[in-house]
Amino acid sequence: MENVELKEGDVLLIVDVQQDFLPPEGALKVPGGDEIIPILNSWIGRFSKLGLPIVASRDWHPEDHCSFIENGGSWPRHCVQGSPGAEFPDDLQLPASTIIVSKGTTKEKDAYSAFEGTDLADRLRQLGTKRLFVGGVATDYCVKATVLDALSNGFDVVVIKDAIRGVNIAPDDSIAALNEMERQGAAIL
């Protein structure tokens, strides 16, 4: 990590590191999701020290969101707006200047990507973003969708491999997701 030179135009994007996605109590816990927090904190420290922007996306679902099993979706109820499960964990050291992007905010539409239904692309362009460093959960869903959308919006993307974890409904889902991100042009660090 130390040998990566950060520069003007770099932005750290932390995807959905929220209580409901973290062991042991999360409603939709990603195995090992809590293990990435110290790694992300070290990246947060590096970006903060250089005055580079940090963005954190979050699922911010209404009570009756379409992704919930009880509403015909695929997932247990998670990250309901204003609930403890939707909060960022206390040990994730997000500075006060962190740009928060809320996604999945309407009941009829799911959003895996931090770009979907948000103004993230415009905000990144206003910041002069050239390269995104991405970590978070889950590798095979929201991280992958966010990375692919970032690439299609013209940003260079570096996936911080030790700062992501996957759901892995099938055992190789995260490996397949990483391969797909790399095939589409992301650098894997």
Domain ranges of the chain: 10-188
CA–CA distance, 181 with 161 (Å, rounded to integer):
11
Active site residues: 16, 103, 142
CATH number belonging to domain 10-188: 3.40.50.850
What average pLDDT score do residues 144-170 get? 98
Q: How confident is the model at residue 3 (pLDDT cuts 50, 70, 90)?
A: confident
**Given the DSSP bridges, would you call strands 131-137 and 156-165 parallel, antiparallel or unpaired?**
parallel
Is the predicted pLDDT of residue 46 greater than 60, yes or no? yes
Q: How confident is the model at residue 1 (pLDDT cuts 50, 70, 90)?
A: low
User: The whole model's pTM is what?
Assistant: 0.97
